């Protein structure tokens, strides 16, 4: 085809990352064939425990130069606590990518899929389908603060929330844009302006200001405590949910938890301006308890591939991959499904079933 190839950096990482990434790549290759897309993959062996053992660092010094030229990063999972402490592996790799590449949006779709037993009674496929948009670079996770009078009675600890107009507005605009593109066109803002009386009223004020730019999107806001309860009690109420870093961190675990297994949940760390590559990774980690047995669920990784295709400008291919996941989940025999889905299948087998479905019906 005429179009330019998309260059994708592939980083499997540790544990089941090395098992689910190949399954994800199979599906991406199938989508590329079905939609005549050019995807070029280049695999890297850094951001894992073996690299750390060999080099004493999680990443090469010039990682930024190496990765900057790619259109996206397709990431598995990092962490092998027997070898590297988790704070070292995480801060030495993923957090570097998010900060240096200004991936200020963390996206987590939450959808109850067919064939998946969710923990909420009386909810079926289609009842839960929302998108959590988390601010990923500022807010409550600042390093402004400190301790004084340590070890005395006056011991004092302070950590400040940092909200900038640029930082708040850009994530709100991204969330409103997402809402505008979905059928319900509804946005919910997570706040706590009754208790956090300076920064959260500011957040609310910016929500009102940005909402005025999107008259076609309806919106509401909930205090974070009530919002958490509604995720469980009335998940059908939500379409796009936007939240500060801390609130979004909690909601983006609670949301996928309401829809069943960790093995299917995807996430994306996005630099919307595309000055830097965005990163697509499953929500789960390296799962040392099941690694090496070839039974990890590859769907979280495969769904990330769908999000990546969307980001690269191929919404039809993205929707097609998601539909293939749904139809395989709905129709596959327990011999194809992985143990977390109450089947007896393997990572490779489930990945192959989805790749075949992608190839079969363009």
Nearer to ligand NAI, 163 or 328 (CB): 328
* 138 neighbors 107 (Cβ within 8 angstroms): no
The two three-digit tokens of residue 181, written as one number: 């593109």
3-state secondary structure 3-20: CCCEEEEEEEECCCHHHH
Longest dimension (CA), the chain: 71
- The answer to the question of residue 281 lying near ligand NAI (CB under 6 A) is yes
Q: Report the candidate in 160, 211, 204 with the shortest Cα–Cα distance to residue 187.
A: 211
Residue 77 binding ligand NAI, by CB under 6 A? yes
**Beta carbon nearer to ligand NAI, 91 or 149:** 91
Q: Which of 270, 296, 307, 350 binds ligand NAI (CB under 6 A)?
A: 296
Instruction: Check if the beta carbon of residue 315 is closer than 8 Å to that of residue 325.
Output: no
Does 6 sit near ligand NAI (CB under 6 A)?
Answer: no
Shortest reach from residue 354's CB to ligand NAI, in Å: 14
Which tokens sit at 360?
A: 């079969």
When asked if residue 135 is in the footprint of Mg ion (CB under 5 A), the reply is no
Q: Does 187 help bind ligand NAI (rule: CB under 6 A)?
A: no
Q: Which tokens is 318 given? A: 């993205």
90-129 mask for ligand NAI (x: CB under 6 A)?
A: x---x-----------------------------------
CB of 296 to ligand NAI, least distance (A): 4
Distance CA 184, CA 129 (A): 11
> Which residue's CB is nearer to ligand NAI, number 90 or number 162?
90
Q: What, of ligand NAI, Mg ion, none, does residue 249 touch, CB below 5 to 8 Å by kind?
A: Mg ion
* Position 341 contacts ligand NAI (CB under 6 A): no
Q: Measure the CA–CA gap between 250 and 260, rounded to whole angstroms.
A: 16
Alpha-carbon dihedral angle through residues 345, 346, 347, 352, given to the nearest 10 degrees: -70
Total site size for Mg ion, rule CB under 5 A: 2
Axis-axis angle for helices 315-331, 299-311 (nearest 10): 160
Residue 205: name the closest of 241, 168, 246 by CA.
168
Of residues 187-226, those binding Mg ion (CB under 5 A): none
Burial class (CB in 10 A: 0-12, 13-18, 19+), 198: exposed
281 near 123, Cβ under 8 Å? no
Please check whether residue 180 is in contact with residue 214, taking contact to mean a CB–CB distance below 8 angstroms.
Answer: yes
189 lines the binding site for ligand NAI (CB under 6 A): no
Phi and psi based region of residue 342 (left: phi greater than 0; alpha: psi -120 to 50; beta: remaining): left
Q: Decide if residue 300 touches ligand NAI (CB under 6 A).
A: yes
Residue 340 binding result from ligand NAI, Mg ion, none, given CB thresholds of 5 to 8 Å by partner type: ligand NAI
Q: Does 307 bind ligand NAI (CB under 6 A)?
A: no
Q: How many residues touch ligand NAI (CB under 6 A)?
A: 23
Residues between 225 and 254 with contacts to Mg ion, criterion CB under 5 A: 249, 253
284 binds, among ligand NAI, Mg ion, none (CB under 5 to 8 A by kind): ligand NAI
Length of the chain measured in residues = 362
Binding mask 206-245 for ligand NAI (x = CB under 6 A): ----------------------------------------
Query: Which C-beta is closer to ligand NAI: that of 221 or that of 269?
Result: 269
CB 187 within 8 A of CB 157: no
User: Is there binding between residue 285 and ligand NAI (CB under 6 A)?
Assistant: yes
Report the interface residues with Mg ion, using CB under 5 A: 249, 253
Report the interface residues with ligand NAI, using CB under 6 A: 16, 20, 77-79, 81, 86, 90, 94, 262-263, 281, 284-290, 296-297, 300, 340
């Amino acid at each position: 085809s005429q179009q330019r190839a998309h260059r994708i950096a592939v980083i499997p990482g540790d544990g089941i990352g090395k098992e689910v990434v190949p399954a994800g790549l199979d599906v991406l290759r199938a989508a590329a064939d079905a939609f005549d897309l050019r995807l070029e993959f280049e695999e890297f062996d850094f951001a894992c425990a073996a690299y750390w053992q060999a080099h004493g660092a999680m990443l090469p010094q010039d990682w930024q130069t190496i990765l900057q030229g790619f259109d996206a990063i397709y990431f598995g999972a990092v962490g092998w606590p027997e070898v590297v402490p988790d704070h070292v592996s995480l801060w030495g790799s993923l957090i570097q990518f998010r900060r240096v590449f200004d991936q200020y949006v963390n996206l987590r779709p939450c959808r109850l899929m067919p064939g998946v037993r969710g923990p909420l009674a009386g909810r079926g496929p289609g009842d839960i389908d929302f998108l959590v948009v988390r601010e990923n670079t500022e807010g409550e996770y600042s390093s402004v603060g400190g301790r004084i009078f340590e070890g005395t009675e006056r011991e004092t600890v302070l950590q400040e929330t940092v909200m900038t107009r640029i930082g708040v507005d850009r994530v709100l605009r991204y969330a409103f844009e997402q809402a505008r593109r979905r059928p319900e066109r509804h946005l919910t803002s997570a706040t706590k302006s009754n208790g956090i009386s300076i920064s959260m009223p500011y957040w609310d004020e910016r929500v009102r200001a940005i909402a005025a730019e999107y008259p076609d999107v309806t919106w509401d806001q909930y205090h974070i405590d009530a919002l958490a309860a509604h995720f469980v009690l009335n998940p059908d109420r939500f379409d796009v949910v936007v939240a500060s870093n801390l609130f979004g961190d909690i909601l983006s675990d609670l949301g996928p938890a309401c829809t069943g297994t960790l093995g299917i949940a995807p996430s994306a760390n996005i630099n919307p301006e595309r000055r830097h590559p965005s990163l697509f990774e499953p929500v789960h980690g390296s799962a040392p308890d099941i690694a090496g047995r070839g039974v990890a669920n590859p769907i979280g990784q495969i769904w990330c591939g769908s999000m990546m295709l969307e980001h690269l400008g191929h919404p039809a291919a993205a929707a097609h991959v998601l539909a293939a996941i749904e139809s395989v989940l709905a129709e596959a025999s327990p011999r194809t499904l992985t143990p977390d889905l109450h089947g007896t299948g393997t990572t490779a087998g489930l990945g192959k079933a989805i790749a075949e479905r992608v190839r079969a019906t363009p």
